[in-house]
Amino acid sequence: MAAFAWDVHSEEGKDAVVRKPLVALVGRPNVGKSTLFNRLVGERLAIVHETPGTTRDRHYADVEWQGRVFTLIDTGGLMGDLPLDTITEQVQKQAQLAIEEADVIVFITDVLKGVTGADQRIANILRRAEKPIVPAVNKVDNLERGLDLYEFYALGLGEPVGVSALRGLNTGDLLDEIVAALSEVPLEGEVSTGVRVAVVGRTNVGKSSLLNQLLGQERVIVSEMPGTTRDAVDTSITYAGEEVTLIDTAGIRRRGRVERGIEQYSVLRALRAIGRADVVLLVIDALDGVTAQDAHIAGYIVDEFKSVAVLINKWDLVEKDAHTATLFEEHVRYRLKFMPYAPVLFVSALMGQRVDRVLPLAMHLYRERYVHLEDAEVSDMLQEAIARRSPPRGRGKRLVIYEGHQAGVAPPTFAFTVNDKRLVHFDYERYLKNRIRERYLFEGTPLRLTFSNRR
């Protein structure tokens, strides 16, 4: 049976949170940002948790170098679908975005083109930023081109690293520079207060309306918590005697200052908030349905092993009959099939409809993250699972699972000892996850399964 190891008031619930730093690649189009991104992510280092269905359009991924893990973002890719901007406007916005949200900025130029006017303008913006900048010159495919680097000193950002994204030259030096710059970034060991909840979603879906409704509820006591990170402001509330921290609410509240329609602002902001959260509330506009951008954010939530609920907002605007909610939920399940465990709640932030269920749901999901199944329960599950469906064969043998137990919580992590972990396929892993969820639902939380070979 499930043993609840979780208690919001215990010391366990007060771990310091170390946020994963964000490193942004910035530069005008065609300097080779996406090539470099793929090179840095694709080679060796990447800890890419490939969640099927979330891979298209990926412009950020985790990279590990010298024991340091950071999230690398190709801001060019993020800006790519922006309509009707001049290139100058695009790159300037991109630079501003990176300054606001990233911890370290890698500024990329092109040795073949030399220093252009657009490069100058970006450099001007970056020079004013109080963030570490790593200048890089790309397309240095051979030694001769390396001689042309001095021209880039004129940008006033320090000594540039010459790299060739195409040929994979000198990228290790670039990573060294990035990691060195990261050491200047405070690790922000925050002390968590209770349940950390992030409200994320595209612009205009109703995040700030929802937030205001939540804060306006009768039982909610609000206190601001300034400065947990540089420019983020969290809001701490007490609800039903429990502490909840709403993450980076300033980003939502001050949205008025940010131009409307620039989805990319919200994406990067969302990534940051998700990284610090236990539970993520993904807000979706009922009139739009689940868009590609929504699925993109959802994919990141899954990759980060965060608990999640999907809030379908503006439900008041939907013409309904007896089947509408069911059909809509099917649509959500289809578009977000990589997180079938996420509860879906239909709300209207404007009318206050079902908003009173949001915080109880978030707290419920938090508890689900900390559920710990006893060893006997997992053994039993495993025996039954193997009896119902034999493990796959491969390499001339059959996968044998000797033992399994829950090795951790938040996210619930199950460790299995096997004969050859190469035989474990996604399919069987998913099968095991489903069997685990038959024993205990773990609502809203992804499960992590690890397999190691028996020595």
Interacting residues with ligand GDP (CB under 6 A): 27, 29-35, 76, 138-139, 141, 164-166, 201, 203-209, 252, 255, 313-314, 316-317, 348-350
Which residue lies nearer to ligand GDP by CB, 37 or 300?
37
Query: Cβ 201 to ligand GDP, closest distance in Å?
Result: 6
> Helix or strand or coil: residue 92?
helix
Nearest alpha carbon to residue 137 among 177, 101, 103, 182: 177
In the complex with ligand GDP, which residue's Cβ is closer, 92 or 417? 92
Quote the least distance from Cβ 195 to ligand GDP, whole Å.
Answer: 21
Q: Tokens in use for 309?
A: 């609920």
What is the closest distance, in whole angstroms, from the C-beta atom of residue 82 to ligand GDP in the complex? Answer: 13
Q: How far is the CB of 391 from ligand GDP (least distance, A)?
A: 42
| Residue with smaller CB distance to ligand GDP, 193 or 208 | 208
Question: At CB < 8 A and 24+ separation, what contacts does 388-395 make?
Answer: 388/435, 389/428, 389/431, 391/423, 391/428, 392/423, 392/424, 392/425, 392/427, 392/428, 393/423, 394/422, 394/423, 394/425, 395/420, 395/422, 395/423
- In the complex with ligand GDP, which residue's Cβ is closer, 269 or 306? 269
We find the least distance from the C-beta atom of residue 210 to ligand GDP, in angstroms, to be: 7
The residue length of the chain stands at 455
- Of 260 and 397, the one with the shorter C-beta distance to ligand GDP is 260
Residue 417 CB-half CA count within 13 A? 7
- Tell me how far, at minimum, the Cβ of 368 lies from ligand GDP, in Å: 26
Q: Residue 54 Cβ, how far from ligand GDP at the closest point, in Å?
A: 21
Which class for 426: exposed (0-12), middle (13-18), buried (19 or more C-beta within 10 A)?
exposed
Name residue 130's amino acid.
E
Chain center to CA of 328: 25
Chain-centre distance of CA 31, in angstroms? 26
3-state SS of 150-172 is HHHHHHCCCCCEECECCCCECHH
Measured distance CA(442)–CA(367) in Å, rounded: 9
Nearer to ligand GDP, 35 or 51 (CB): 35
> Which C-beta is closer to ligand GDP: that of 121 or that of 255?
255
